[in-house]
Every structure is written in structure tokens, then in C-alpha cells.
Amino acid sequence: MDDSLQISLITCSPGHDTYAMFGHTAIRVNDVQHNSDLVFNYGMFNYQSENFIYRFVKGETDYILGAEPASFFFGRYSERGVTVTEQVLNLTAEEKQSLAQALAINAEPQNRTYRYNWLYDNCTTRARDVIERAIDGKVEYEATATADVPCVGSDASATVLTTREILHKYTAVSDWTRFGIDVVLGEEIDRPLDHFQQMFIPENFMNAADHAVITDASGQQRPLVASSYHPIDLAEPKHIDNTHSSLMCMTGLLFVSVGLAFFELRRHKTFKWFDASLAFVLGLVGCLVAFLFFFSEHAGVDTNYLVILLNPLHFAAIPFILRRKTKVLSCVILADILLLALTLILTGQVVNTAILPLAFTLLVRVLVNLQIFSYLCRRITKQN
């Protein structure tokens, strides 16, 4: 069989934009004999499709396997200023032909669309799976470090990682992005992943492929990767965001709340517009958290127990706040805070540190309202 094909795993390092923060994976099929050099990419989508934003938030995001000339692909990532790693796969002529044919068939209009899942079925896991299916044998991955992060494996000393810990590594460049992810993703991403599951991240699969071997039916082994190089090498030191701005913002809110509390307790009257504004903002955030929790198909959002506190019911509290009828409301919020704390302890969901001062801010508002209500009741009783 003619062996003019060279097939490579392409890994793009994390970019500067939020959507490129975790990197990207593709497969290059270079047919020298037929002068064809294509990159197959499972990460394409049509943002102009009907109700795209709504469907994206709901988790009904259909991604597409597309093919484009390698020169276009590399040119685009060169403009983005990211490093691209190419790992030439150590496949037989038959395996290369099988993989190239599978990609071509999958890229046909009737086959190219799939339901994207960022954790379990994404552009990286699709590339891994189609490569494995084309191989006459079994791909065995070592429990090795992936993207500078240890993996789970047979070695008992290997560090157990969760999805959240992996995401935190990549969101270290943006504190608010990390905060947003922690607000909408729940207990499911705090479960430990083995080294195979950790390959949903492009760099993790790239590093795992470097140490992988193919074992055929006769027991013979060969490395999965024959060679690797950087067609684009624009490595720049990553700027780690150490400002902790989300924590500072929430802590500042807590200090403002405590400061207002002193004045409120002295004048025996709450600043209702502060409480109403806080309820409005929490209601807006709660709309997103609750929608994702109850309706979205995205992985990790339906186990987010922050929905106990962050939900649209805060909007219903605003009329009571403006009329200063807050006794029952304060008791409900206090119960919510206690229920949330108990649920987080029982489920093991990890919360962003910035959530803590926000919870204490609500606790301060509850205690102030209850204290002032109690004072007013005593004064009315005394007058009578």
C-alpha cells in the first residue's frame, strides 16, 4: 500500500482570549502524493445559526468537524500569537488510510455535526477517539504528568486531580474568569479524574500521547508519536493574575455593609436601597445560575448547589425590602445560608474564596434587619 500520508496531532497552546484559554486540538492529514494538506478541526461552529446564544447557554451547542488547508490553519494561529505543536503519529500505512478515510467521511455535511460537551465530548476527545479507532491494536497511556499537572494512574503516589483544579490552572490568567466558572459549575467538577478523563484538555492529551504506546495483537509495541516539532513557536510567559480582584471586590462589599450597619443600628433604620440593589444584582446572577441548573445540558451545572442562595427569588424580596417588611425575609435568607453551608459540607462542592465575603455580607444584612426589627417591636410594646 502506498504510504504517502503523514498524519499528525496538532495542539495549539492556550491563547489570550477567553474562548482560547484552554487551547485547541486538531488532526493534520498531509498527502504528499496528491498534493493535499488538510487540518481537520472538531472545534468549529456556526455562531449565526438560529438562537445560537440561547442554545449555547442551554448546552444545545452543535459543533462541526471542518477541514481547511494547513496553511490557513497555521496562519490563523500565527496571527493569534500562540505556539502550535505537531506530533507526527507512528501509524502503519493501513492505519493512516483508515484514519484519513474516517475523517473525510465524518467531515461530510450529513456527518460533521455533533452535540458538543466541554468535559466529555469536545474537540480533543473526538480527535483522540477517532485516532484510537483507526489503530489496529490498543493505545496505552502512561500515568504521566500532563501539562505540568500530575495525572491519576496506577501509581498510588500520583496526585488526584479534579476538573476544577485543572480549570484553575488555565484560568490563573484571569481572576474573574475563574470566579465566573466557580459560580456556575458545581460538585460534578470536584470529583477526581483519572489520567484518561483528564485528556479533555488539549495539552493533557498532547503530553499523554508523547508517552503512549500502541500494542498490536501479537503483543508488539511501538510509540504512538514518531516525532514532534513546533511549526509555530511563539511561546510567551503567561501572565498570572495575582490581583485576586474578585475577592477584593467582595471583601470591599462586606466592609461597606459592616460600615453601613453601624449607622443603621444607631439610627434604627435600614438603608433599604443598599439591600434592594444587592437583591437586584443577586437576582440577576441567580437567573443565570438557576437557568443553568434546571435547564442547561452543560456538564457540571446541574450539581451547582450555589443555586440555593443564588437564584431569581431575590427579585421577589425587593418589594419587601423597600417597605422594610424584612423579618420573614431575613429568616428565610438566614435559613438559605445555613442550608447552603450544610449542603456544601455534605457534597464536597468547592466554592470560590470570593463567595465567602459575599455570604458574610448577606449575613450582616440579615442580622442588621432582624436587630432593627426587634428594636422597633420593643419600642412599640413600650409605648403601648
Question: Between helices 327-347 and 313-322, what is the axis angle to 10°?
Answer: 150
| Helix residue ranges per DSSP H, the chain | 52-58, 70-80, 93-106, 123-134, 163-170, 175-184, 202-210, 245-267, 272-295, 313-322, 327-347, 355-383
Ranked by mean pLDDT, which of 33-37, 322-326, 350-354 comes out on top? 350-354
Looking at residue 243, what is its pLDDT? 84
Mean pLDDT across 306-318: 97
Instruction: Summarize pLDDT for 327-343 with one digit per residue, the tens.
Output: 999 999 999 999 999 99
237 three-state secondary structure: coil
Give CA angle at 167 (191, 45), nearest 5°: 110
Name the pLDDT band for 142 (thresholds 50, 70, 90). confident
Cβ-proximal residues to 73 (8 Å cutoff; 6+ apart), any chain: 10, 26, 39, 41
Dig out the grid coordinates for 333 from the structure: 435568607
Looking at residue 377, what is its pLDDT? 84
Name the pLDDT band for 81 (thresholds 50, 70, 90). confident
Dig out the grid coordinates for 105 from the structure: 467521511
65 three-state secondary structure: strand
Looking at residue 156, what is its pLDDT? 35
Residue 190 has what DSSP assignment?
Answer: G
Percent of the chain exceeding pLDDT 90 equals 79
Instruction: Summarize pLDDT for 170-219 with one digit per residue, the tens.
Output: 999 999 999 999 999 999 999 999 999 999 999 999 999 999 999 998 89
Looking at residue 141, what is its pLDDT? 93
Poorest-confidence range of 2-11, 88-97, 287-296, 359-368? 2-11
Question: Between helices 163-170 and 175-184, what is the axis angle to 10°?
Answer: 160
CA dihedral 236, 240, 245, 247 (to 10 degrees): 160
The answer, yes or no, to whether residue 146 has pLDDT greater than 80, is no
Looking at residue 54, what is its pLDDT? 84
- Cα distances from 297 to residues 108, 117, 291, 377, in angstroms, run 26, 8, 10, 49
Contact 47, 117 (CB under 8 A): no
The answer, yes or no, to whether residue 147 has pLDDT greater than 60, is no
Instruction: Summarize pLDDT for 217-274 with one digit per residue, the tens.
Output: 889 999 999 999 999 998 666 778 888 899 999 999 999 999 999 999 999 999 999 9
Looking at residue 232, what is its pLDDT? 93
Percent of the chain exceeding pLDDT 70 equals 94
Looking at residue 276, what is its pLDDT? 97
CB contact burial 256-267 (16+ within 10 A = b; e otherwise): ebeebbeebeee
Sign of CA dihedral 99, 105, 109, 113: negative
The answer, yes or no, to whether residue 148 has pLDDT greater than 50, is no
Residue 45 has what DSSP assignment?
Answer: -
User: Which has the higher per-residue pLDDT, 185 or 147?
Assistant: 185
Give CA angle at 207 (241, 172), nearest 5°: 10
Name the pLDDT band for 301 (thresholds 50, 70, 90). very high
Poorest-confidence range of 10-19, 116-125, 219-228? 10-19
Mean per-residue pLDDT over the chain, rounded = 91
What is the C-alpha to C-alpha distance for residues 297 and 82, in angstroms, rounded to an integer? 31
- Cα distances from 120 to residues 51, 115, 148, in angstroms, run 24, 11, 21
12 three-state secondary structure: strand
Mean pLDDT across 282-311: 97
Residue 104 has what DSSP assignment?
Answer: H
